[in-house]
Amino acid sequence: MTNKLIKVMAISSAMSVMLFLFRMQWSGSLFGIFLIWNLFLAWLPFLFALALAEVNKTSSSRWKRVLLFGGWLLFFPNSPYILTDLFHLHLRADVPLWFDLILILSFAWNGLLLGYASLFEIQHFLKSRLSAVTVNCFIVGLMILCSFGIYLGRYPRFNSWDIIANPIVLFSDIFNMFLHPLHNNRMIGVTFFFSLFLIVSYWTLNTLINHKHNEQQ
């Protein structure tokens, strides 16, 4: 099942890359190359989650689990972050607007699916150790933190690796944001509404999958 999932996501991601290459050949422009980088970053939490699931089956090493879970947690916001690349959708002379819409949506769709597929693995991992209520609370808290991470990436332009490469500036800015939250309505709005979207969409997808699984049983 895991190998099939990897193949499906690889094929779907390859389709997005082919759309970009077609656009580049058509227009002679490199617009959209950032989508490939963002899709690569969206693959990282997926691979971390799969590696964690494998280590959980074959190894008793606690440190491996901690490192893989930490890597997944650090890079998870990159998956839904691609949704914000829709901000780059503008009418351009070289390519029709509808094509750029399909291009960006394909990358955003793959990014979101990779994130949710990784979260399914993490949810299964946590449920073997924690109660269902605790896991659900973790997912809600994760979506809120993820949405805040999306804000940090889109507006102050921080990256996941800034937590290591530039931690003083990162945490200083975060501290100032929380110290004066009412001075940053955009932060509150982006975090709240992205949290709402991510929680409801994940819950919907999770319900659909569980419903189909229960029907088959």
Largest CA distance in the chain: 57
Is residue 78 located within the same domain as residue 48? yes
pLDDT in tens, 186-214: 999 999 999 999 999 999 998 988 766 66
pLDDT in tens, 11-43: 999 999 999 999 999 999 999 999 999 999 999
Is residue 13 located within the same domain as residue 91? yes
Please state, for a pLDDT cut of 70, what percent of the chain lies above it.
Answer: 96
More confident residue, 160 or 7: 7
Neighbours of 183 (CB within 10 A): 9
Is residue 136 located within the same domain as residue 210? yes
Is residue 168 located within the same domain as residue 94? no
Is residue 89 located within the same domain as residue 139? no
**CA-based nearest residue to 123, from 205, 207, 49, 215:** 49
Is residue 11 located within the same domain as residue 64? yes
* Single residue among 129, 162, 195 that ends a domain in this structure: 129
Taking 70 as the threshold, does the pLDDT of residue 167 lie above it? yes
Residue 150's domain spans which residues? 131-217
| Predicted local distance difference test score (pLDDT) of residue 25 | 95
Is residue 136 located within the same domain as residue 75? no
| Predicted local distance difference test score (pLDDT) of residue 209 | 84
Say how many domains are in the chain.
2
Banded model confidence at residue 45, pLDDT cuts 50, 70, 90 = very high
Is residue 114 located within the same domain as residue 180? no
| Predicted local distance difference test score (pLDDT) of residue 2 | 78
H/E stretch holding 129: none
Is residue 72 located within the same domain as residue 166? no
